[in-house]
Amino acid sequence: MIAEFLLPDLGEGLPEAEIVQWLVAQGDDVHLNQPIAEVETAKAIVELPSPFAGTVSALHAAAGDVVEVGSPLIAFEVDAADSPSGDVPEATSAPAGHVEPEPSLPNLVGYGAAPRAAGRPRRRARVLAGTDEDREATPTIAAQVLHDAPHDAVTPLRDDVRDERPRSTPPVRAYARAHGVDLALIEASGVTGIIRREDVDRFLADRTPAASGASPADAGRVSPAGTGRGGAERETRVPIRGVRKHTAAAMVRSAFTAPHVTTFLEVDVTETTRFVANLRADRRLDGHRIGIMAVAAKAVCLALRVEPTLNAAWDEDAGEIVQYHYVNLGIAAATERGLIVPHVADADRLGLVDLADEIARLAQTARAGRTSPAALSGGTFSITNFGVFGIDAGTPILNPGEAGILGLGSVRRRPWEHEGDIALRDVMTLSLSFDHRLVDGEQASRFLTTVGDILREPGRALLFG
């Protein structure tokens, strides 16, 4: 019996996903819930588990394809008794080469995503130097290498290597895809067998003629005249997709929907920096990295008790203001794939140590490209720390659906009035952007000064119980 698996809605309401790589091949035996593919949505890279136990009979898309939700992704040869529906159509009941999908077959979210469009997945056009005969000889490789790669740089893979999944981390895979490199072509330099970014750079450099003198870092740089340094191309075009595409759409929607207002406050955070230093020196807190970001996050949760209007959403369709009685605190994280904002669920119920641990976990997961779709939606208020990049202040754009976002600037040692005298103190600038439909200036100011008071004197947190 043939059972088709349709690409499911991954819980984000997104219409499509890109196949990063297949973890199985045609003819492989798979068991229930075995990972079969890595797919990249506009928010994260996720593994798809198999909804069937059986043998892979066909892959309907290749790595790099963009597949619409509800389109056939993979076909399995299964026993009728193993089918969740108990009545999987036979291969002979449909035209040759295709079997109609069973509407009730399970997926990751429910029991089937309704197809949004008929037809096959669309394939991005790629161009490869060389003859048609060469491209037919190595179709998989040809689809992955750079469009301007020298023909002699494309080396056919051994059969044992072709069937083996290249080992690397998600950021490295994203870096390789951005440069049009198939990881199956790269040999890991370390003893672990894991392909690193340096291996990708070395592979790119090896394919660049020695006379050019160009390095991978030179790609896309514009030279003042001629064809570029050493004859290199003067520009690089990167497809707008994944996180960058989603972030751009979300920021434009937010900027032109919610009336943004930003207010600033300079705060003497010397006592907080001392407080953090004392916590780090406490052996009982070994293994917990508590920094000023965690203290600011706790201060935000406490300040939202004072001004709950900033923990709300504007529901245009319903004509209602949604007031949240919990805080899902979004933490903006810069990754190689772009900016994402995973949230700490029920952050207001966590103590300082647990909150610091959750922030560290979110950052690590985001950098690895493993943030779950659930963690990327449902936030109620966000924090962005542009101070780590040496920036003092900014005007952060609201995360869509949220009423406020707090920006943390750099902590700088500055002359400051202290107890009637001038002293060198640790000073930080707080930047609060808010939705003026929901929040008035008075409420925003009260919230910001409450956060500032706690950062100025961490002991004030005790006033909130």
Place of tokens 């349709």: 6
The two three-digit tokens of residue 252, written as one number? 């434009």
**What value, to the nearest 5°, has the Cα angle with vertex 233 and ends 228 and 236?**
125
Q: Which DSSP category does 328 fall into?
A: -
Torsions phi, psi for 231 (to 5 deg): 80, 10
**What value, to the nearest 5°, has the Cα angle with vertex 137 and ends 133 and 141?**
120
Distance CA 356, CA 14 (A): 31
Q: Which DSSP category does 446 fall into?
A: H
With b for 16 or more beta-carbon neighbours within 10 A and e for fewer, the 182-194 pattern comes to bbbbbebeeeeee
With b for 16 or more beta-carbon neighbours within 10 A and e for fewer, the 102-129 pattern comes to beebebbeeebbebeeeeebeeeeeebb
The closest of 453, 148, 434 to 309, measured between CA atoms, is 434
Is 256 exposed, middle or buried, given 0-12, 13-18 or 19+ CB atoms closer than 10 A? exposed
Three-class secondary structure of residue 262 per DSSP: strand
Distance CA 54, CA 58 (A): 12
Is 91 exposed, middle or buried, given 0-12, 13-18 or 19+ CB atoms closer than 10 A? middle
Is residue 30 a contact partner of residue 53, using CB atoms and an 8 Å limit? yes
Is residue 464 a contact partner of residue 302, using CB atoms and an 8 Å limit? yes
Distance CA 148, CA 207 (A): 10
Is 418 one of the catalytic residues?
Answer: no
Is 251 exposed, middle or buried, given 0-12, 13-18 or 19+ CB atoms closer than 10 A? middle
Distance CA 253, CA 404 (A): 15
Catalytic residues: 436
